[in-house]
Chain A
Amino acid sequence: MIVVITESVPPRLRGRLAIWLLEVRAGVYLGKVSKRVREMLWLQITKLAEDGNVVMAWSTNNESGFEFQTHGQNRRKPVDFDGLRLVAFTPMEDRKTS
């Protein structure tokens, strides 16, 4: 199982992903692909995402049962908790300066 979620990426990438995956909501794609296809998809994402950002998650045989990777800037950033990956949500930039 694989999930790809895109944010403000060019329509070109949206269309490209829909070749292999099912777009169930705007920018949200589902599928079941091999590792090789997943890596091919990731290459397309990194090449075509431009200023947008993307997260890709897939099932694996680790403790969480899934793995994920991100591309581009987002306020949600992966953090490592002694081997368990969680997500930290950074506040708005203007709040930090005040």
Chain B
Amino acid sequence: MSFVPLKPTAIKERVAMVFLEYGQLDVIDGAFVLVDNSGVRTHIPVGSVACLMLEPGTRVSHAAVKLAAAVGTLLIWVGEAGVRLYAAGQPGGARSDRLLHQARMVLDPELRLKVVRKMYDLRFGEPAPQRRSIDQLRGIEGARVKSMYAGLAQQYGLVWRGRRYNPADWEAGDRANQCLSAANACLYGITEAAILAAGYAPAIGFLHSGKPLSFVYDIADIIKFETVVPVAFRIAAKKGLNPPERKVRQGCRDIFREQKVLQRLIPLIEEVLSAGGVDLPAPAPEAAPPAIPGPTIIGDIGHRSG
């Protein structure tokens, strides 16, 4: 009997996400399986999904988490409407050169401004106004985003009182805000999977800071208004779809495919971080390469293989 190791595949070759509810996630004959309480087994092609969203009512075995980690799939535990609670299974930090590069860009005020200006450019399709501080740019972005929300709400005939939501009291938010939260959760899930797969840290953000997913919000914001926000408003405007989460997820899945979001995310991250014009740090001259070279990878650079 021979042993063939499992390897992660590239994020761009995967399906965006699968939401799982009610059942035990386990490994049967080496396959990732959701078993419900009547014994029905649903095979999940875990290695071909960027992130698995585990909803209330799921239990996960040790073997299942091990398999998800081996194939580089992010597990995200979510609560109501798919809003994220906790994630594991695809640890980041595998690439010290990427982490140091990202940290250097944030720590140097000049480089950080360049990156933030690049984000602005990519987000709005025009260069950021000259001689503005990051704080001023953040203010301009906030105002533009507010008017974009209001414009979309008007377009879909929705009453809009601003982006308001309370994670602790889900029902308090209005329908449009609930749809937005559900759609954002999908975008944040795949964005986090892409950031980890590219070898960067989700917590080290440029515009956002102080949160475990600061960089995820930075990157997701760039493409949010061309992907998930119109989907959320469109679903919110349809009456009689209660609860609307399923339709939101379907809509997100469709828009991710149409806009090739999984293919675009890692190049987008690289483009943003290259705005500073600084190369990846080279290893110290006396640094010795690993004694045992790692296996060749067919996935992304940040995936740990084996």
Interface residues of A (CB under 8 A from B): 62-64, 79, 81-84, 86-91, 95-96
The smallest beta-carbon distance between B257 and chain A, in angstroms, is 5
The smallest beta-carbon distance between A63 and chain B, in angstroms, is 5
Residue of A62, A63, A81 ringed by the most chain B CB atoms within 10 A: A81
- A63 to B44 alpha-carbon distance, docked (Å): 15
Q: Mark B32-72, 1 if CB is under 8 A from A, else 0.
A: 00000011111111000000000000000000000000000
Does B104 count as interface, using CB distance less than 8 angstroms? no
Contact B40 A91 (CB under 8 A): yes
Contact segment of B14-22, B229-237, B269-277: B14-22
- A63 to B18 alpha-carbon distance, docked (Å): 12
In the complex, the number of residue pairs spanning A and B with C-beta atoms less than 8 Å apart equals: 47
The smallest beta-carbon distance between B234 and chain A, in angstroms, is 15
The smallest beta-carbon distance between A81 and chain B, in angstroms, is 5
Q: Closest chain B residue to A90 by CB distance?
A: B40
Contact B43 A86 (CB under 8 A): yes
Contact A82 B41 (CB under 8 A): no
Contact B39 A63 (CB under 8 A): no
Does B114 count as interface, using CB distance less than 8 angstroms? no
**B249 contacts which chain A residues (CB < 8 A)?**
82-83
- A83 to B257 alpha-carbon distance, docked (Å): 12
Interface residue count on the B side (C-beta < 8 Å): 20
The smallest beta-carbon distance between B41 and chain A, in angstroms, is 4
Q: Closest chain A residue to B248 by CB distance?
A: A82
Does B209 count as interface, using CB distance less than 8 angstroms? no
Helix, strand, loop or mixed for chain B's interface? Answer: mixed
Contact B15 A86 (CB under 8 A): no
The smallest beta-carbon distance between B75 and chain A, in angstroms, is 16
Contact A64 B15 (CB under 8 A): yes
Does B97 count as interface, using CB distance less than 8 angstroms? no
Kindly identify which residue among B15, B40, B41 contacts A84, using a CB–CB cutoff of 8 Å.
B15
**A95 contacts which chain B residues (CB < 8 A)?**
39
Q: Closest chain A residue to B44 by CB distance?
A: A86
Does B155 count as interface, using CB distance less than 8 angstroms? no
- A8 to B246 alpha-carbon distance, docked (Å): 37
Contact B250 A83 (CB under 8 A): yes
Given contacts A63-B253, A82-B250, A83-B250, contact A89 B40 (CB under 8 A): yes
Interchain Cβ contacts under 8 Å between A and B, 6 examples? A63-B16, A81-B19, A82-B246, A84-B18, A91-B40, A95-B39
- A82 to B18 alpha-carbon distance, docked (Å): 8
**A90 contacts which chain B residues (CB < 8 A)?**
39-40
